[in-house]
A and B are shown apart, each in its own frame.
Chain A
C-alpha cells in the first residue's frame, strides 16, 4: 500500500470520531473503511515476480507442490492462484536460515523420484507425483526411511498454508469477518451461541 496515502487515511480515521463526539456512526464506519480500501487500491500492484532464491527448476517444483497441497475447488482457487510460490521465494530471502532445508528438501524429493521413476518430480506424471507425496505426507504411518522427506514436507505444508490462508482469497474462503471497525461490540450472534450451547445472562 502507498505509504503516504495510508498515513493520511489513518489520520482521517483517527480524527473522525473526535469530531463526531466519540461515537462511531454507521456512515462514518463505512466511510472510514472505504477510505482504507481506496488507499490500498491506489498502492502499487505487484507484478509477476521472478524468483530471487529458487532456480527455474526449483521454482517449477515448488509450484507443482503447493498446488498439490492446496488445489482449487468450488469455494476458492489454488495455491499458485494466490502466489504462494512467490511468497515462499520471498521468505527464503527474508529468512536465510530456511534456505538449506528448503533447497535440500527439494533435492531430496528429486533424488527419490529419480530412483523410483527415473525422472525429477516435475517431470513425473500427476499420478507419480502423488505416489511420491503419499510416502511423506502422513508422518505417523510413513516408512522409517522417509523421515527426511516427512520433516521437509511438514514444514513445506505449513509454509504453503500460511501463503494460501493469509491471502485475500484464503481469508474470504475461511469467512473471517473481522479486522474492521465495530462501533458497538455486541458479543456473539445467537446461532454461534447455540452451536456451543451457551447464552448471555442479562
Chain B
C-alpha cells in the first residue's frame, strides 16, 4: 500500500475539531504556529448547513432519526450510537453506549450549551471524601482560563456567590418561562437551590456575533452563530490567521514516532477513497474525544512503546467515567389548556438546580445537578407518544381511545408536562476501563475499543436520591409522575454508562508518571511533544457538564505549548 506523505512539516497536528481541538487551533495559530487539523467527518458550517426554522412538515419524516442523524434529522449531528463499519465491543457483564460525531466541530454542534465551571471542591475530591484522586491543579489555576473562555465565547448566567458553583463573566440571563417560575416556587419550598442556568448562548451582541433570537433550536445549529460551537466561534479566527489547514474525511490511525521517542506526526486514512496518508508535525495534539484519543495511543505501538504510546504507566484507558443520569416526567393539571403564548426561549432551560446538599449527611459521596424542561414546545416527531398512559386518569375505561374525545385530549394535555433529569458525578475507578479488542478491527483496519464499565453502589444510591427528589418536586407542584418509582432491580432508572455522552478520564493528568498519563499541562509524561486536550485529562467527573472545563484546559495547555515553543523547548 502506498502511503502519501506530506513534504511539509507542520508545527502542530491536531486530531479532532471539537471543543478541545478548536481551542488548540485558535490559540496556536494566533501564536504563529502552522497547524494542520484532521477531522474524520465532513465540513459543517452552521450558517448554511443548519435547518433553523424548518417546520416538521417541511420534511416527509417530520424530524425522525435517520441512520446518518441518529438524534433526529433536524439536529446538527452527523453520527450517533452506531457508525456503519466502525464497531466497538463491550465486555461480558458490563455496559457502555458510545456516541461518536463525525463532522467538523464534533459534538459542539448539537450539545446543550450548559456551560458550568468546575468548582474548588471538584478538583480536590480525594482530599474531601477519600475517593478517587485530586487533580494536580486547582480551581485557582484554571480560573483565569475560565474567565478568558467566558469573554471569548459568551455565556449568560447570574452571580450567585455559591462556593462550588463559581460565578463567571456573565451576559444577562433570559427571563424564566412561566412553568419554570412555578418549578422554582416548589424548589424554594423544598429548599432546593434553583437559579438561572449558565449557557453559552448570547443574550447580547458579542465579539461580532449576533444575539439569540429565541427559537429554542440550538441543537439544530445556529445560522446566526448566536451560541457556541467550534465552527461558529473557534475555527473562524484560526482560519483567519491563514495558518490553519483543515483536512476533512481524515480518520487517524496512529501517532508516528521516531527513534528518540518523540511524536513525528499522524497517519490517517481518507474515509472516502481509502488512501493512506501521513502528516508530519513537531507537536501532536489529540482532541478526538476522550475514548478515540485513548484508542489512538493504544494503537500507536512500536518496539519502544509496546504498551501503546505514552502508556508506560499502563493508565491509558483507565478511570473512564460518564455522568450518571435518570429522569422523571410529570403531568401538571394546572398547565392544561394553557394560555397560548410563545414559550420557545433559548435552546433548553432558563433555570436549573446546582447541587445543593452536603454529602456528609447522605449515603452517597458525590452530587448531581437537575435539568428540566417542558411546556409548549414545537410539535415534533413522537409528539405526545404514549398518550394512553396518561389521558385516562379518573376515567373508568382508562387511557387511550380514539375520535373526538382523543383529539380534545391532545389539545388539553399539550404543554402540560415537565421532565426532570439529573446529571451526577460518577467516582473514577481503575477497573472501569477501555482497551483494544484483540480480535476486532473497523472497516479501515483500525483495531477497535472494548469497554469494561459498571456502576457502583455510589452511583445507584445517588440516582435513587434523584428519583425521590424529582418525585417530591412533581408532587409539590400538584403533578403526577408518569412512571412509577423504579426499583433497586431496575437500577433506580439509572442511564446506561455512556448515554449521557460525558466520557472523561482515560488519559488522566497527574504529577506522578506512574499513576497518570499526562502532566498538569496535558502533556504526555513519556513523550514531551504529545498532548491530549479533550475530556481525556480529567481526573474526576464533577456534577457538571464537562465542555467548559475542556475549553479552559485546552486553552491552558495550548498557551503552555505556545510558550514552550517560544522558548525552543518544543
Interface residues of A (CB under 8 A from B): 1, 7, 10-11, 13-14, 17-18, 22-24, 36, 40, 46, 68-71, 73, 86-87, 90-91, 94-95, 130, 133, 137-141, 153-154, 157-158, 161-163, 165-168, 170-171, 173-183, 185-189, 191-193, 195-200
Contact = CB atoms under 8 A, between A and B. Distances in A.
Q: Which of B53, B179, B410 has the most CB of A within 10 A?
A: B53
Nearest to B224: A14
Contacts of A193: 178, 181
Contact of B178 (A87, A138, A192): A192
Given A11-B48, A154-B400, A176-B378, 4 more contacts: A158-B384, A176-B377, A185-B203, A191-B339
Contacts of A46: 60
A87 B60 contact: yes
B176 A187 contact: yes
Contacts of A180: 53, 215, 342
B175 interface: yes
A92 to B, nearest CB: 11
Interface residues of B, number: 78
B379 interface: yes
29 contacts: A1-B54, A1-B58, A10-B48, A14-B223, A14-B224, A71-B403, A71-B407, A73-B404, A94-B60, A94-B64, A94-B66, A140-B399, A154-B386, A158-B384, A161-B383, A166-B56, A175-B340, A179-B344, A180-B215, A182-B214, A183-B213, A185-B174, A188-B341, A191-B339, A192-B178, A192-B339, A192-B341, A196-B179, A198-B178
Given A71-B404, A138-B401, A176 B379 contact: yes
B400 A94 contact: no
Q: Which 10 A-B pairs have the closest CB atoms?
A: A140-B398, A187-B175, A22-B205, A178-B344, A175-B340, A188-B178, A166-B56, A198-B181, A182-B214, A177-B342
Interface string B330-349: 00001100111111111000
Given A168-B57, A176-B376, A197-B182, A138 B400 contact: yes
Interface string B174-208: 11111101100100000000000000000101001
A170 B63 CA distance: 15
B356 interface: no
B216 interface: yes
B178 A181 contact: no
A70 B403 CA distance: 5
Contacts of A141: 396-398
Contacts of A162: 62, 381-383, 385
Given A71-B404, A137-B402, A179 B55 contact: yes
B52 interface: yes
Contacts of B401: 137-138
B338 to A, nearest CB: 6
Given A166-B57, A196-B334, A140 B392 contact: yes
Contacts of A10: 47-48, 50, 52, 223
Contact of A187 (B58, B177, B383): B177
Nearest to B62: A166
Contacts of B410: 161, 165, 174
Nearest to A10: B223
B334 A195 contact: yes
A90 B62 CA distance: 10
A110 B296 CA distance: 56
Q: Which of B66, B181, B400, B411 has the most CB of A within 10 A?
A: B400
Nearest to A168: B57
Q: Which of B178, B340, B384, B404 has the most CB of A within 10 A?
A: B178
Contacts of B398: 138-141
A84 to B, nearest CB: 11
